[in-house]
């Protein structure tokens, strides 16, 4: 298989059309067998449920080339089960978890020429998603759905090193208590757009959302979970029913405990505690970990001792260990690396 002639190291994080995408339709209570297609467009009725009532959910994972030359994905079984959880919460049919894995395998195999080479820092981002497709005007779930998976090559997240981020405590809320914050649904992102645009306008990289109930506890950002390192080397990560269960965060908790011998605390984290932490980071599939140097709470600056020049030392160790596991340089826990080619 010949690789596409792309400038891998200088790709951005944007959409680029690749050769094939996977499509399966749900009708009369059943999913069809699914197929790969070259058609990048979706034609739907003007009254499709996804347009009127935002009945849509998604996942994000990546395929990449390991040190020994295999194309793999990282823990796709967790994306499969999380998409199933999202579907149940929005009254959508579950796309069977084993078929989810198979669809990823088919799409990545068909687009293998776009999987960046080892060492480039780039990856093939995979976007599975599902939407209600038939016309619905009274508020109710759709009866017909489409599940799709497309891929797009994306560049290294940090070009020229990971610069620590400056984050503001947001006055907007991300997710209501007992709401939909714990599922990966487009609706959680629609409401975050105004908050992120205004954060950028004011010179901040991201929003830190607090728990809407009391506004005293740290939840997450628009698209990444928080991890904190204490001065005595513990990993602390916020626990709440309205935080999206990040696969990267769950993996980092395991790596901290089992590879680095750290104590891990998954618990409520108060805004008041931030000043006591040594390091902070954001975690998610795209960047793995982005260091956070500063949190600004209405003019009050909380500066982490790790500073604004580089990733904190413990965060760096976590980052190096997890990316080492992903790339095949460090032995992975059973079942973490799913080989495609």
- Residue 323: φ, ψ to 5°: -70, -30
Tell me whether residue 144 or residue 220 sits nearer to ligand PLP (CB atom): 220
Handedness of CA 317, 126, 53, 35 (dihedral sign): negative
Q: 113, 107 in Cβ contact below 8 A?
A: no
d(Cα 148, Cα 131) in Å, to the nearest integer?
9
Asked if residue 184 binds ligand PLP (CB under 6 A), the reply is: yes
Taking CB under 6 A as the binding criterion, the range among 100-108, 202-210, 241-249, 261-269 that sits at the site for ligand PLP is 241-249
As a whole number of angstroms, the distance between CA 97 and CA 152 comes to: 22
CA–CA distance, 326 with 169 (Å, rounded to integer)? 32
Q: What is the rounded CA–CA span in Å between residue 2 and residue 155?
A: 19
- Using CB under 6 A, pick the residue from 285, 290, 306, 315 that binds ligand PLP: 285
Q: Pick from 205, 219, 220, 279: which binds ligand PLP (CB under 6 A)?
A: 220
Nearest distance in Å: CB 154, ligand PLP: 13
Minimum CB distance to ligand PLP, residue 230 (Å) = 22
**CB nearer ligand PLP, residue 205 or residue 220:** 220
15 vs 68 by CB, closer to ligand PLP: 15
Q: Give the span between the Cα atoms of 215 and 337, in whole angstroms.
A: 38
Nearest distance from C-beta of residue 83 to ligand PLP, angstroms: 11
215 three-state secondary structure: coil
CB 291 within 8 A of CB 312: yes
Q: 63, 167, 224, 292: which one contacts ligand PLP (CB under 6 A)? A: 224
- Residue 86 binding ligand PLP, by CB under 6 A: no
Candidate segments 146-154, 156-164, 239-247, 271-279, binder of ligand PLP by CB under 6 A: 239-247
225 near ligand PLP, judged by CB under 6 A:
yes
Q: Does 246 bind ligand PLP (CB under 6 A)?
A: yes
Q: Is 281 in the site for ligand PLP (CB under 6 A)?
A: no
Interface with ligand PLP, residue 294, by CB under 6 A: no
Q: Is residue 244 within the footprint of ligand PLP (CB under 6 A)?
A: yes
Contact stretch for ligand PLP (CB under 6 A) within 10-18, 85-93, 105-113, 245-253 = 245-253
Check if the beta carbon of residue 292 is closer than 8 Å to that of residue 303.
no
Question: What phi and psi, each to the nearest 5 degrees, are found at residue 135?
Answer: -75, 135
User: Binding to ligand PLP by residue 253, rule CB under 6 A?
Assistant: no
83 Cβ neighbours under 8 A, 6+ residues apart: 57, 58, 59, 95, 100, 128, 130, 184
Q: Which stretch binds ligand PLP (CB under 6 A): 27-35, 87-95, 193-201, 221-229?
A: 221-229
- The token pair that represents 19 in the structure block: 């050769």
- Give me the residues that bind ligand PLP (CB under 6 A), please: 60, 184, 220, 223-225, 244, 246-249, 284-285
């Amino acid at each position: 298989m010949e690789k596409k002639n792309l400038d891998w190291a200088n790709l951005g994080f944007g959409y680029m059309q690749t050769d094939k995408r996977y499509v399966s339709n749900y009708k009369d209570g059943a999913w069809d067998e699914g197929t790969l297609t070259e058609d990048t467009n979706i034609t739907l009725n003007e009254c499709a449920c996804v347009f009127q009532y935002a009945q849509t959910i998604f996942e994000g994972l990546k395929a990449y080339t390991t040190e020994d030359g295999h194309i793999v994905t990282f823990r796709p079984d967790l994306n499969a089960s999380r998409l199933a959880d999202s579907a149940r919460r929005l009254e959508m049919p579950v796309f069977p978890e084993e078929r989810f894995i198979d669809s990823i395998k088919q799409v990545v195999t068909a687009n293998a020429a776009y999987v960046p080479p080892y060492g480039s820092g780039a990856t093939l981002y995979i976007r599975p998603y599902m939407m209600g497709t038939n016309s619905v005007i009274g508020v109710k779930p759709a009866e017909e759905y489409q599940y799709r998976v497309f891929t797009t090559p994306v560049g290294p997240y940090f070009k020229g090193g990971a610069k620590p981020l400056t984050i503001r405590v947001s006055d907007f809320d991300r997710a209501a208590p007992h709401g939909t914050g714990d599922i990966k649904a487009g609706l959680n992102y629609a409401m975050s757009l105004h908050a992120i645009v205004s954060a950028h306008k004011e010179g901040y990289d991201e929003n830190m959302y607090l728990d809407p109930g009391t506004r005293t506890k740290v939840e997450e950002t628009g698209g990444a979970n928080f991890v904190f390192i204490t001065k005595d080397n513990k990993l602390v990560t916020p626990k709440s029913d309205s935080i999206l269960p990040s696969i990267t965060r769950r993996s980092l908790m395991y790596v901290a405990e089992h590879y680095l011998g750290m104590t891990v605390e998954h618990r409520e984290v108060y805004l008041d505690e931030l000043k006591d932490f040594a390091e902070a980071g954001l975690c998610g599939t795209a960047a793995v970990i982005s260091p956070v140097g500063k949190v600004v709470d209405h003019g009050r600056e909380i500066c982490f001792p790790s500073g604004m020049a580089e990733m904190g030392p413990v965060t760096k160790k976590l980052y190096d260990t997890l990316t080492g596991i992903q790339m095949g340089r460090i032995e992975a826990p059973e079942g973490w690396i799913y080989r495609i080619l």
